Structure 1
Amino acid sequence: MKRMHLHVSVPELEPAIRFYSHLFAAEPSVVKGDYAKWMLEDPRVNFAVSARGAPLGLNHLGIQAEEAGELDELGQRLDAIDADVHEEMGTHCCYAQSDKYWTTDPGGIAWESYHTLGSIPMFGAQDEGTGDCCVPEGTSTVSCQPASDNEAKGCC
């Protein structure tokens, strides 16, 4: 069974943990100095927040496969629609080692399809000075930033 994944960039972690813990009536399953994750069953979602200097708001959406075969199926679906796909096998990101496919939807939102292989003690390879983590270069994200206060009320 697959699980929806949402990752939100926040200005500060502790207020976000407090807010989402109350909203979900659950404590995070993973908490690090710059990251927290809730693996919820109701709704069935992997919801993560991080305070790592990325633009605030939606960082990316995704589908977490619980088995390698499910990830293969997701990869085949992306191939069938001729999506521009960035493949990362055995990558280190978000305190986990995973196999991933990244793409961008027609509206510019980054989508991650992945299967987690295990946990790691650091956020990602960039903690070792070897590169970025999460949304790869060339895969964009969009955020709702209204041009005026009037638009803000109906935004998103």
Structure 2
Amino acid sequence: MKRMHIHVGVEKLDDSIKFYSALFGTEPAKTKDDYAKWALDDPRINFAISTRAKRGVDHLGLQVDEAHELEVLRKRLKNADMSLFDEGETVCCYARSDKSWVTDPAGIAWEAYQALEDVQLLSDTVVSEEGACCTPETKGRPGCCVPSEKAVGCCG
């Protein structure tokens, strides 16, 4: 089963947690000093906010429950002639995940991923204050790590 993912950058985390908790009718499933996430069933969405992301919509995605669902999504993206960046297993946004990235024709970063487990780190690599995770648009930005064959984590 799939769950829509939206990550929004906010300026004041506490004010935003209060607003979105009222909007969704529930408290976040996960909170950190710079991050909060709601895992909602109605609507079925993984909605995250952080003070590290650019303000507004940072990226969108589809979260899957099973590895075979992720492979189906990856094939769809490749068949759509999209340039797919397979990140593989990585730690980003307080979770270890298997993920891939594409950028849609409008320039919006999308991730297709399976969350494998919660972790206590934002990332297993150094990520700049300019982004929550190194999406395709931020790779190579000064202060953000640049992808390489030996790199690991969200900037790997």
When normalised by structure 1's length, the TM-score is: 0.82
One-letter code of the match for 2:101? W
Partners of 1:86 and 1:103 within 8 A in 2 = yes
Structure in which a larger fraction of residues adopt helix: 1
Deviation string, structure 1 residues 99-156 (Cα, Å, up to 9, x no partner): 1010011001110100011111111123xx378752434469xxxxxxxxxxxxxxxx
2:85 corresponds to: 86
Identify unmatched segments of 5+ residues in structure 1: 141-156
Q: Distance in 1 between matches of 2:137 and 2:104?
A: 13
Deviation string, structure 1 residues 42-96 (Cα, Å, up to 9, x no partner): 11100000011x3210000000011101000000001101101111111010000
SS in 2 for 1:77: helix
Relative distance call for 1:135 and 1:36 in structure 2 (3 A) is same
- How do 1:3-152 residues align onto structure 2 when only pairs under 5 Å count? 3-52=3-52, 54-126=53-125, 129=126, 134-138=133-137
SS in 2 for 1:6: strand
Relative distance call for 1:125 and 1:133 in structure 2 (3 A) is farther
Identify unmatched segments of 5+ residues in structure 2: 140-156
CA-based RMSD? 1.8
Q: What is the identity percentage for the equivalent residue pairs of Structure 1 and Structure 2?
A: 50
Q: Distance in 2 between matches of 1:87 and 1:139?
A: 15
Partners of 1:92 and 1:133 within 8 A in 2 = no
One-letter code of the match for 1:2? K
Relative distance call for 1:96 and 1:74 in structure 2 (3 A) is same
Larger Rg: 1
Partners of 2:109 and 2:137 within 8 A in 1 = no
Q: Distance in 2 between matches of 1:69 and 1:137?
A: 23
One-letter code of the match for 1:87? D
Q: Distance in 2 between matches of 1:100 and 1:55?
A: 20
SS in 2 for 1:102: strand
